[in-house]
Amino acid sequence: MTQRSHSISSMIAAVAAAAALGLPGMASAEYLHPTSDEVGVVVHADHFKSEKTRAQVRAEAEAAVQQGLLNFGEGSYPPPGPSAGPGKTREEVVRELLSETPAERNARMQLYSGG
């Protein structure tokens, strides 16, 4: 009878260990996928589903900086630069390139060639 109770408790322990080791992997399975190379995982960022907005994350980071909870450098990223407004469409850029004068083209080519 001891053999049987010993094997049942071993089986319960094995199931508990498998569940404990498997749960963290299942929690991150949304965007971390195992691979057979030396890295071991590949990250698919487009699979990640955030539950917080950018503003919420920024507010939490600022609060942590004020409370002294971040190590040196973690909260010292430069502030975002001023917005340049909406950019040009692809068609607008192509139209500008096709309508530039030879002098404008030479100036552009010198700018990008370093000469």
Q: CB-based contacts of 75: which residues, under 8 Å, 6+ apart?
A: 61, 62, 64, 65
| Geometric angle at alpha carbon 50, from 44 and 51, rounded to 5° | 160
pLDDT digits (tens, 9 = 90+) for 70-94: 765 655 666 667 877 788 899 999 9
pLDDT digits (tens, 9 = 90+) for 6-30: 577 677 766 666 555 555 554 444 6
| Position 63 confidence tier, pLDDT thresholds 50, 70, 90 | confident
CA–CA dist 9, 1 (Å, integer)? 13
- The pTM of this model reads 0.29
Residue 95 Cα to chain centre, angstroms: 35
CA–CA dist 89, 83 (Å, integer)? 17
